[in-house]
């Protein structure tokens, strides 16, 4: 059975939804990630809620999500290396913004809310050539 990515699409940037689907495809193609699921741990939040936050979680449409990869049956969080591998794959193939080439589309980090993948896009996010 293919991994399902189910999130409400209303108010979420279309490129962010595309990247979620690609994560599902990466998990489907990797034998070690069969049976994995995506757990969204953060979406829209008011601007200024977290000190130093860039505001990407308060845009309309939403341009950032926080998520963890989990076993879809036990709900246990998958190892750090699995999260890092997904981020490397996305960042290898996708450019966050030509004006900000140093920024990744996917970052595995702990921003005082626990380790998670921070997935972000702009209107100029595109596949690398």
Q: What is the pLDDT along the chain (129 residues), one digit of tens a residue?
A: 344 444 555 688 899 999 999 999 998 888 878 788 898 887 766 565 555 555 665 667 888 898 999 998 898 999 999 999 999 999 999 999 999 999 999 999 987 778 999 999 999 999 998
The DSSP annotation for 47-87 comes to: TTSSTT--SGGG-SSB-EEEEEEEETTT-PBPPHHHHHHHH
Start-to-end C-alpha separation, the chain? 32
Q: Where are the domains of the chain?
A: 14-44+54-127
Classified as helix, coil or strand, 93 is helix
How remote is the C-alpha of 23 from its chain's centroid? Answer: 8
Q: Which two tokens stand for residue 101?
A: 């080439």
pTM: 0.81
SS3 state of residue 14: helix
């Amino acid at each position: 059975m293919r991994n399902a990515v189910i999130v409400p699409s209303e108010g979420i940037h279309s490129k962010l939804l595309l990247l979620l689907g690609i994560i599902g495809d990466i998990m489907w193609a990797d034998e070690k990630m069969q049976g994995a699921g995506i757990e969204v741990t953060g979406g829209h939040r008011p601007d200024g809620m977290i000190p130093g936050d860039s505001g990407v979680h308060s845009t309309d449409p939403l341009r950032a999500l926080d998520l963890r990869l989990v076993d879809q049956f036990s709900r246990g969080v998958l190892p750090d290396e699995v999260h890092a591998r997904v981020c490397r794959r996305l960042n290898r193939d996708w450019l966050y913004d030509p004006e900000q080439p140093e920024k990744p589309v996917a970052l595995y980090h702990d921003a005082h809310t626990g380790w998670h993948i921070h997935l972000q896009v702009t209107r100029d996010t595109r596949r690398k050539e």
